Amino acid sequence: MLKQLALALAGTVCFALTPASAQTKTVTLWHPFTLETDMIYGGIKSFNESQSEYKIDARIVPGPQIATELIKAIATGSVPDLVTLDNPVVASFSAQGTLTDLTDLVSKSTYIKPNVYFEGPWASGLWKSKIYAVPRDANTLALCYNADMFKAKGLDPNNPPKTWSELSAAAEKLKDPAKNVYGFGFSAVQGEEGVFQWLPFLHQAGGSVSKLNTPEAAEALKFWADMVKNGTASKDVINQRQYEVTNTFMAGNSAMVLCGPWELPRLQTDAKFDWKLALLPVKDGKNIKASALGGYDWVVPKGAQQVNGAFKFIEFMSNPKILNEGWATGRLAPRNDVVVQNPLWPQAYSIYREQLQSARARGPHPQWPDISKAIQTAMQEALTGTKPADQALAEAAKKIEPILAKTPL
């Protein structure tokens, strides 16, 4: 008993005598990155070593749960100081006043200058011309194809499809039902990921989210629905998340798939064949280049204890030197002053970097989840054959119209 008391006393004295630990303020951070090679790990380490004022205390929250967890934190009033959020949901949080306004901090920052950021990623953090988020990374989609299968079917692996008609022709040739091989794979899952993958096609056809009841939009959805209908793409695409689509590619069940750069580390270790990347094909006669824009934003929830410390870390992570490391796990920099020298997967890097130029943001809109849900329903209806594409989209447009009437895109 006495011994325990003495120990406890000694502990208190030690604590009081250590000046560093008394001054260091802990900045709590939530992020979903599980690969140890992600730039965030090196960043946290060197940030904590470079100064003693703040210490980053990181917690991994799985990507799909991060918004849910943040909502729970907001509801209970005990928020983390810094969170990485998937960029299309940021507006839902910022428009409701749950994030800290970073406008002043950004205006004083040396590294974070709005004009060096790509337009799409930067726009995702804006609400009513105030800055609520700083982009951490960016990603987009490109066409990933199995060069060995191209050769086997008499297609030129150095000349991947450049238009929709070339894409369907190649997919038709590559499919092999006897071997369970589909020509083309994509995610049309009932969720944000499905919308992320389909929007490039909508934009390439000349359609837009605000005008879904147009022939252009219907053509884009019909293009996907027809592939499922005639067996060029699997019926299971409506239930496959993006990583599962990549799985079918790596298992040799899909000859071509839509694929984001974050899959590169996995492709490198698990795909036992010659795979290559190509820019997304464009629609014949339209020639509109478009792709999806994804990525994570840094946000500081309202009520955070260490706003300055959090922003200091955001700045630290926005240093081009750190952003350069992002490509090790297939994360592109959200700004135009970062070009990776001698990148891993050089062919993929040049494709994705070029594709990023035509990447379009989702929203920003505080009700993006509702808009997205309407599109998801239309996609599921068209791809299961429950409703024709134009009818499904017309119904989606009806749901989206009042939302956009309140707050335009």
The residue among 308 and 377 lying less far from another protein, judged by its C-beta, is: 377
Characterize 289-310 residue by residue with b for buried, 16 or more Cβ atoms within 10 angstroms of its Cβ, and e for exposed: bbbbbbbbbbbbbbebebbebb
238 counts as binding another protein under rule CB under 8 A: yes
How far lies 232's CA from each of 170, 225, 235, 317, 326, in Å?
Answer: 10, 10, 9, 43, 35
Nearest to 394 by CA among 213, 251, 237: 213
Burial class (CB in 10 A: 0-12, 13-18, 19+), 62: exposed
Burial class (CB in 10 A: 0-12, 13-18, 19+), 246: buried
- Both structure tokens of 13: 């004295």
Nearest to 90 by CA among 57, 135, 56: 135
Contact 375, 198 (CB under 8 A): yes
User: Which of 386, 398, 402, 407 contacts another protein by CB under 8 A?
Assistant: 386
Q: What's the closest the beta carbon of residue 219 comes to another protein, in angstroms?
A: 22
User: Which of 28, 84, 87, 92 contacts another protein by CB under 8 A?
Assistant: 92
Q: What's the closest the beta carbon of residue 213 comes to another protein, in angstroms?
A: 19
Q: Rounded distance, CA 210 to CA 193, Å?
A: 19
239 counts as binding another protein under rule CB under 8 A: yes
User: Which of 370, 388, 399, 404 contacts another protein by CB under 8 A?
Assistant: 370
User: Which of 93, 118, 122, 145 contacts another protein by CB under 8 A?
Assistant: 93
380 counts as binding another protein under rule CB under 8 A: yes
Would residue 330 be called left, alpha or beta, if left means φ above 0 and alpha means ψ between -120 and 50 degrees? left
37 counts as binding another protein under rule CB under 8 A: no
The residue among 96 and 230 lying less far from another protein, judged by its C-beta, is: 96
Q: What's the closest the beta carbon of residue 143 comes to another protein, in angstroms?
A: 21
128 counts as binding another protein under rule CB under 8 A: no
Residue 105, SS3 per DSSP? helix
The residue among 99 and 317 lying less far from another protein, judged by its C-beta, is: 99
Q: What's the closest the beta carbon of residue 376 comes to another protein, in angstroms?
A: 9
77 counts as binding another protein under rule CB under 8 A: yes
* Sign of torsion over alpha carbons 267, 271, 274, 278: negative
Contact 27, 300 (CB under 8 A): no
- Both structure tokens of 336: 């135009």
User: Which of 182, 198, 262, 313 contacts another protein by CB under 8 A?
Assistant: 182
Nearest to 401 by CA among 217, 214, 211: 211
Size of residue set near another protein by CB under 8 A: 35
User: Which of 29, 233, 237, 338 contacts another protein by CB under 8 A?
Assistant: 237
60 counts as binding another protein under rule CB under 8 A: no
Q: Rounded distance, CA 30 to CA 44, Å?
A: 12
User: Which of 48, 305, 308, 384 contacts another protein by CB under 8 A?
Assistant: 384
Question: Which segment (120-128, 153-161, 184-192, 292-300) binds another protein by CB under 8 A?
Answer: 184-192
User: Which of 8, 16, 251, 339 contacts another protein by CB under 8 A?
Assistant: 251
The residue among 96 and 287 lying less far from another protein, judged by its C-beta, is: 96
For tokens 């946290």, the residue is: 44
Question: Which segment (144-152, 281-289, 306-314, 382-390) binds another protein by CB under 8 A?
Answer: 382-390
- Scan residues 347-366 and list those touching another protein (CB under 8 A): none
Q: What's the closest the beta carbon of residue 183 comes to another protein, in angstroms?
A: 13
The residue among 85 and 290 lying less far from another protein, judged by its C-beta, is: 85
Residue 219, SS3 per DSSP? helix
- Both structure tokens of 301: 């929830």
Q: What's the closest the beta carbon of residue 238 comes to another protein, in angstroms?
A: 5
Rg (CA), the chain: 23
Q: What's the closest the beta carbon of residue 28 comes to another protein, in angstroms?
A: 18
User: Which of 139, 381, 396, 403 contacts another protein by CB under 8 A?
Assistant: 381
* Interacting residue ranges for another protein, rule: CB under 8 A: 67-68, 71, 74-77, 92-93, 96-98, 180, 182, 189-191, 234-239, 248, 251, 253, 369-370, 373, 377, 380-381, 383-384, 386
